[in-house]
Amino acid sequence: MKDLEIRLLHPIIVAVKELYGADLPENQVNFQSTRKEFEGDLTLVVFPVVRFAKKGPEQTAEDLGNYLVKNIEFVEKFNVVKGFLNMVISDYYWLGTYAGAYQTEDYGRLTAGSEDPLTIVEYSSPNTNKPLHLGHIRNNLLGYSVAEIIKASGKRVKKVQIINDRGIHICKSMLAWKKFGEGETPQTSGMKGDHLVGKYYVRFDQEYKKEIEVLLAQGKTEEEAKKEAPLLTEAQNMLRMWEAKDKEVVALWETMNQWVYAGFDSTYKRLGVDFDANYYESDTYLLGKQYVDTGLEKGIFYQKEDGSVWVDLTDEKLDHKLLLRGDGTAVYMTQDIGTAIQRYLDFDFNKMVYTVGNEQDYHFNVLFKILNRLGYSWANDCRHLSYGMVDLPSGKMKSREGTVVDADDLMNEMVSTAQSISEELGKLEGFNEEELAAIYEMIGMGALKYFILKVDPKKRMMFDPSESIDFNGHTGPFIQYTHARICSLQRRAADLGTEVKPGSTLHAKEKELLKVILRYPEVIQEAANDYSPAVIANYTYDLVKEYNQFYQQVPIFGADSEQDKAFRIGLSGMVGKVITSAMSLLGITVPERM
């Protein structure tokens, strides 16, 4: 509808000038979609014009409506409701605009050139001491989809992640494997590498708690027991040895990290996400120190008596933030400062988007302000894509660790649920076993992705696997099933040798469907500007609902003329193309048969 608004903007300004001798500012030309209870395609809010017309809102709207019908060929008629001018746009306009869209390759998407703006999108950012979990699924799906949407909006994109591969939590897994692993590997155990390492992270916690109980029985306080437990002391010593580059410790660290990376890669592949660059905390944890030193020299930061370095953000209604400990070691903020600057040096980006949960809102607020104070103006173009937690119905699909919902377990459960529901409904017939396995994967993963991405990222959400696989609900499978129906129709049309060409007049449902199709380019831009895959997901659902109403109410193969039949087949095909395109921006594949 933006194209229509643009085409009407100047004529309305001219109308006000000719009718009332006044110059109406562009920002006072306000359009909105016509409410469903009134006839019309686009509504002009007349109230800003009333002061120039010196008439009531209804008479002013009548004046403008008569002028536009007389002077603009595609404004067919109008009606007035109080201060609102509802315009009916001619079939000629809709068909002409649709014909251009139909002939456009990769309709709705723009292709970036080498000089177009570059956006960095960070997502995933896992720890190498355990497998990916449900929270990572929402993170990965959001980050990947936002990157694809920004790319479709006509900008260059690079997808990156920071892998948290160092620290005491990593050493806990390493120490537990060394003590209790008996040489177990992914090959000997048959476990994915990330699951194997996660198993020993849990084992450390179990043995650590046993040691605490022994110390408590010996009369230690709880605080003393937690600090003095031998396993923790050994893990802390292992971290010091890693930082000192002890060959044996570094070798074990490299081996176990490789197990984890192989496991992550398998999960990422199944999720359908990828990265253009990986950053590792083991490389970046010292990066920020030089910039903190520079800030200290320039008086941007200050130093306390214990040698620690801080920044005072109280003038921005924040607090004092630690940047270096008294012993000179970095904190997470220090690392993030260094990593952000390194990425700018690597990519010379225009924007950078961090996909991180909303529990880190404060952290990124502080980070961007610190970068600004250090003189990096591009910090104004950094964004935190803050998202809410994902909950599951109580007691369902607990991971083998018994604490969090494992990503691999959840994906397996989704595919299994897709199979059960499909078999129960009798939806899939005529497929061999290999084809069925592929379609169950497509439905299960499509259901998972769509259900998560249709929710505004800022909102906390409840994910119910069974609810997400509803062939008649606001779900991925409902959209996938409609696409398969369209493909079936297209195959039938091909057998008949039907050509696709627009008709001269439109059925009311054809017109409504065209209006939804023609919104797709602006929906991509809106989703990119808002960093919200939910905009794409909900648009696609609206398109599918509109198509199904069209399909039920308008005869296609039983049309009154060959021209109408051809047009409706072509219109169905266009809907199928938009569904495919939109769902791919969500990382979802749509089937040709179901």
Dist CA 219 CA 124 (whole Å): 43
Please return the burial class of 84, using the count of CB atoms within 10 Å of its CB with bins 0-12, 13-18 and 19+.
buried
In 3D, which of 465, 469, 470, 456 has the Cα closest to residue 405?
A: 465
Q: How far is CA 538 from the centre of its chain?
A: 13
Give residue 391's pLDDT: 83
Beta bridge partners of 119: 157, 351
CA distance readout (Å), 594 to 82, 471, 556: 49, 11, 21
Cα atoms in the Cβ-side hemisphere of radius 13 Å centred on 300: 15
Beta bridge partners of 156: 118
Dist CA 546 CA 567 (whole Å): 17
Instruction: Quickly list DSSP for 450-518.
Output: HHHHTS-TTS-EE--HHHH--TTSSSHHHHHHHHHHHHHHHHHHHHHT------SS--HHHHHHHHHHT
Please return the burial class of 248, using the count of CB atoms within 10 Å of its CB with bins 0-12, 13-18 and 19+.
exposed
Dist CA 154 CA 70 (whole Å): 38
Query: Are the CB atoms for 153 and 110 separated by under 8 Å?
Result: yes
**476's tokens:** 């991925």
CA distance readout (Å), 233 to 59, 198, 214, 272: 84, 20, 15, 41
Dist CA 464 CA 391 (whole Å): 9
Torsion over CA of 432, 436, 439 and 445, rounded to 10 degrees? -160
- What one-letter code names the amino acid at 156? R
Dist CA 587 CA 589 (whole Å): 7
The per-residue pLDDT string of the chain (594 residues; one tens digit each, 9 = 90 and over) reads 788 999 999 999 999 999 999 999 999 999 999 998 999 999 999 999 999 999 999 999 999 999 999 999 999 999 999 999 999 999 999 999 999 999 899 999 999 999 999 999 999 999 999 999 999 999 999 999 999 999 999 999 999 999 999 999 999 999 999 999 999 999 999 999 999 999 999 999 999 999 999 999 999 999 999 999 999 999 999 999 999 999 999 999 999 999 999 999 999 999 999 999 999 999 888 889 999 999 999 999 999 999 999 999 999 999 999 999 998 888 899 999 999 999 999 999 999 999 999 999 999 999 999 999 999 999 999 999 999 988 877 644 443 345 578 899 999 999 999 999 888 877 777 789 999 999 999 999 999 999 999 999 999 998 888 788 888 889 999 999 999 999 999 999 987 777 666 667 899 999 999 999 999 999 999 999 999 999 999 999 999 999 999 999 999 999 998 889 999 999 999 999 999 999 999 999 999 988
In 3D, which of 205, 180, 185, 207 has the Cα closest to residue 195?
A: 185
Backbone angles phi, psi at 547, to 5 degrees: -65, -40
**Pairing of the two strands 42-45 and 75-81:** unpaired
Query: Are the CB atoms for 516 and 589 separated by under 8 Å?
Result: no
Give the contacts of 204 (CB within 8 A, at least 6 positions apart): 172, 173, 175, 176, 231, 235
Give residue 405's pLDDT: 84
Domains of the chain: 2-89 (3.30.1360.70)
Place of tokens 């109080």: 82
Query: Are the CB atoms for 381 and 352 separated by under 8 Å?
Result: yes
Give residue 400's pLDDT: 37
| pTM (2 d.p.) | 0.93
Q: What three-state secondary structure class fits 183?
A: coil
Q: Widest CA span of the chain, in angstroms?
A: 96
Give residue 394's pLDDT: 60
